[in-house]
Amino acid sequence: MASLAPRGLGIRFAIAAAISLCLSLSLGGARAEETTNVMIDNFTFEPAQLTVKVGTTVTWKNRDDIPHTIVSAGKFRSKTLDTDDSYSFTFTTTGDYKYFCSLHPHMTGMIKVE
Amino acid sequence: MSDHDHNDEGSGVSRRRVLECMTWAGTGVLWTITGGVPRSMGLVGSAQAAEPAGMTFLQISDSHVGFDKPANPNALGTLEEAINKINAMPVKPSFMIHTGDITHLSKAVEFDNADRIISQAKLDVHYVPGEHDFIDEEVKLYKERYGRGTKGAGWYSFDANGVHFIGLVNVVDLKAGGLGNLGAEQLEWLEQDVKGRSKSTPIVVFAHIPLWTVYPTWGWGTEDGGRALDYLKGFGSVTVLNGHIHQVMQKVEGNVTFHTARSTAFPQPAPGTAPSPGPMKVADDKLRGLLGVASINFKPGDQRLAIIDTPLQG
């Protein structure tokens, strides 16, 4: 990217903009939340807060060398995720889903479902 | 293995108020109890020279059997090295305590391997669980193996040589955003357990997560640890032994000495010195130095314990 001439960069941005406009249109004009992954790195959920549409499946992936869990009291609970294990949950109702790691409870996050 | 034969060994405290300490033997801490107050025995070499009076016991912690990541691809091997060190000690300890995270993932094979190695010390072992020992799907393996004769999630007490030992569990029912947790039921039990005991009885409390607040940003502390310590107020000598943070840390507050032991598996960074408390990868030739010898010295008549870290290899 850094080696591209300014003009080339401009063209690339234009193409990217056109593609994303096209994508938006194909989704009925609504702005889609594209991020559905939450990464666990360094005992942190990233992003810590994520807003998604109803029906979205969110996947957490543990990239630490230590196991973690994803627990939202009364809503969902993953098995213990070892390194590189994933857990997915599909959100079918709106609301704020606060969750944490039951092994390292200082790790907290939230999925906002609209 | 049967670990909780909670009887009084009852040889009594003939020596006054000298509790403890110790030799770092590779990756374990050797504690000498001759009453109630920690006493220095220096390094392994000087321990050899000084025939310690009273009782000695050993603490190992955080063996994380099953861990195979870059920070230590062979955690079982370093556990075995630690046990070999213990076996080579000139003075055989009376028993051992293990302050949790026996396994990395609570798999049956991990518990089996841990037991196969630890039993080579031929010592009674008094365990408390770490959070890594409760992550099998049915949460039953730890309790099946080590929970016999314990209350709740695995707490209990026993007496040895006039010292009252209390094993606590602070790794279950953790609350979002919080720290380690003892819970109301266990605290109630603790209150009853120490009630009516002579205040001159030396108390040793051991649990996985530090009972005092070491570094809350990384969850290193126990939410209701202060309440437990309230019940121990008035006792002349209280020693609190923990693991979990894979490094030596200690504090003395009045009559209470807090101390954390090293891991036999991998080191963790000092509070705030890394993005996270995860396993710390060091050069291969440095690993055993960090798991290795450190001595804790307590000068007679002095309330403060002094830590001297001495790498086994350096």
Q: Given an 8 Å threshold on Cβ–Cβ distance, is A106 in contact with B219?
A: yes
Confidence of residue B222 (pLDDT cuts 50, 70, 90): very high
* Amino acid B161: pLDDT: 82
Q: Given an 8 Å threshold on Cβ–Cβ distance, is B132 in contact with A67?
A: yes
Helices of type H across chain B: 44-49, 75-87, 108-118, 141-146, 184-194, 225-231, 284-291
A-chain residues near B277 (CB < 8 A): 43
Residue A25, SS3?
helix
Confidence of residue B168 (pLDDT cuts 50, 70, 90): very high
| ipTM of the predicted assembly exceeds 0.85 | no
Residue of A nearest to B215 (CA): A106
Q: Given an 8 Å threshold on Cβ–Cβ distance, is B174 in contact with A64?
A: no
Residue B124: strand pairing partners = B95
- Rounded to an integer, the average pLDDT of B88-104 is 89
Q: Considering Cα of B101, then B205, then B116, then B310, what sign does the dihedral take?
A: positive
Assigned CATH class of B23-309 = alpha beta
Percent of chain B clearing pLDDT 90 (strictly above): 57
Q: Does A98 touch chain B (CB under 8 A)?
A: yes
| Cβ density class B121-138: b for 16+ within 10 Å, e for less | bebbbbbbbbbbbbbbee
Tens of pLDDT, residue by residue over B176-196, are 999 999 999 999 999 999 999
Q: Given an 8 Å threshold on Cβ–Cβ distance, is A66 in contact with B178?
A: no
Q: Does A96 touch chain B (CB under 8 A)?
A: no
Residue of A nearest to B137 (CA): A79
Mean pLDDT by 10 residues, chain A (114 residues): 42 46 41 74 96 96 97 95 96 97 96 96
Retrieve residue A63's tokens.
């990239």
Q: Given an 8 Å threshold on Cβ–Cβ distance, is B277 in contact with A43?
A: yes
Q: How close A55 gets to chain B, by Cα (Å)?
A: 26
* Amino acid B55: pLDDT: 72
Q: Given an 8 Å threshold on Cβ–Cβ distance, is A80 in contact with B135?
A: yes
- Tell me the whole-structure pTM to 2 decimals: 0.80
Q: How close B246 gets to chain A, by Cα (Å)?
A: 13
Reply yes or no on whether the pLDDT at B273 is more than 60: yes
The domain locations on chain B are 23-309
